[in-house]
């Protein structure tokens, strides 16, 4: 039986800073190397929303980009919530991480409402949090990447972060957390893109998608020599 997954890429035109599209390419390649057909479905404002996605990805964007997608995102909030609550594996980075929360408050005081899937709130800070970042997760081990954001994100009490910051700022530069976890959804500030250097994260998303669709999510191991080299190189970079 040929296994097949549909990867929904949210707003690639407006939300694609710092190589975030590389996350989708990584998912596609790691599927194909295992004989899994991966279909990438790009979704832009005004398109018919696909409710049959097996895996969802959304990247980061400037405040202007968030404003462009704001109304369309709200229109599809219930469909996205149904997918996330149903366990569809999802990765949202930076801008869409913020908008999957309750709101993002800009420097000018404008409130860009989120869709409230994640119990987080984001307020623009006085300085940008920029640089290489290293975190530690009990589930995924060491996670490395690059962050560049002015938004300071705060998790509600009891909300699970993705990881603890070892070096860098993370969610807000204050509480030592980075990202968040909700069911099979991961929100994070890791740019870079994050998945090529952190294959355990990529395989978590693929495995959950296969398990939901076929009832079997165990993945054949791949030769991650180059991925691990990229990981180590990123971890050794100065802040």
| C-beta atoms surrounding 217 within 10 Å | 16
Q: Is 51 a catalytic residue?
A: no
- The answer to whether the beta carbons of residues 62 and 149 sit under 8 Å apart is no
CATH of the domain at 140: 3.40.50.880
Q: Is 94 a catalytic residue?
A: yes
Q: How far apart are CA 203 and CA 221, in angstroms?
A: 10
Q: Is the pTM here over 0.85, yes or no?
A: yes
The pLDDT tens digits along the chain (239 residues) read 789 999 999 999 988 878 899 999 999 999 999 999 999 999 999 999 998 899 999 999 776 666 779 899 999 999 999 999 999 999 999 999 999 999 999 888 888 899 999 999 999 999 999 999 999 999 999 999 999 999 999 999 999 999 999 999 999 999 999 999 999 999 999 998 999 999 999 999 999 999 999 999 899 999 999 999 999 999 998 88
- The answer to whether the beta carbons of residues 53 and 88 sit under 8 Å apart is yes
- Tell me how long the chain is: 239
User: Residue 160 sits in which domain range?
Assistant: 4-236
| C-beta atoms surrounding 22 within 10 Å | 18
Q: Which of 21, 149, 191, 231 is catalytic?
A: 191
Count of domains observed in the chain = 1
Give the pair of three-digit tokens for residue 84: 């996330």
- Please give the helix or strand (H or E) that residue 204 lies within, else none: helix 199-214
Q: Which of 31, 94, 149, 231 is catalytic?
A: 94
- The answer to whether the beta carbons of residues 164 and 145 sit under 8 Å apart is no
């Amino acid at each position: 039986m040929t296994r097949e997954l549909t990867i929904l890429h949210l707003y690639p035109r407006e939300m694609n800073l710092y190589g975030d599209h590389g996350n989708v390419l990584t998912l596609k390649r790691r599927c194909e190397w295992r004989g899994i057909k991966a279909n990438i479905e790009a979704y832009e404002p005004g398109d018919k929303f696909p409710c049959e996605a097996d895996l969802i990805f959304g990247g980061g964007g400037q405040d202007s980009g968030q404003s462009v997608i704001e109304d369309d995102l709200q229109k599809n909030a219930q469909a996205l919530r149904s997918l996330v609550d149903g366990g569809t594996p999802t990765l949202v980075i930076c801008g869409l991480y913020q908008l999957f929360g309750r709101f993002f408050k800009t420097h000018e005081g404008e409130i860009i409402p989120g869709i409230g899937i994640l119990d987080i709130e984001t307020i623009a800070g006085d300085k940008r949090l920029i640089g290489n970042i290293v975190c530690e997760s009990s589930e995924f081990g060491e996670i490395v990447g690059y962050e560049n954001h002015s938004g300071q994100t705060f998790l509600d009490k009891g909300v699970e972060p993705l990881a603890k910051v070892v070096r860098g700022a993370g969610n807000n530069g204050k509480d030592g957390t980075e990202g968040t976890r909700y069911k099979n959804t991961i929100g994070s500030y890791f740019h870079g893109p994050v998945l090529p250097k952190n294959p355990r994260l990529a395989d978590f998303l693929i495995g959950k998608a296969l398990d939901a669709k076929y009832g079997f999510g165990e993945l054949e191991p791949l030769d991650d020599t180059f991925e691990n080299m990229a990981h180590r190189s990123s971890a050794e970079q100065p802040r």
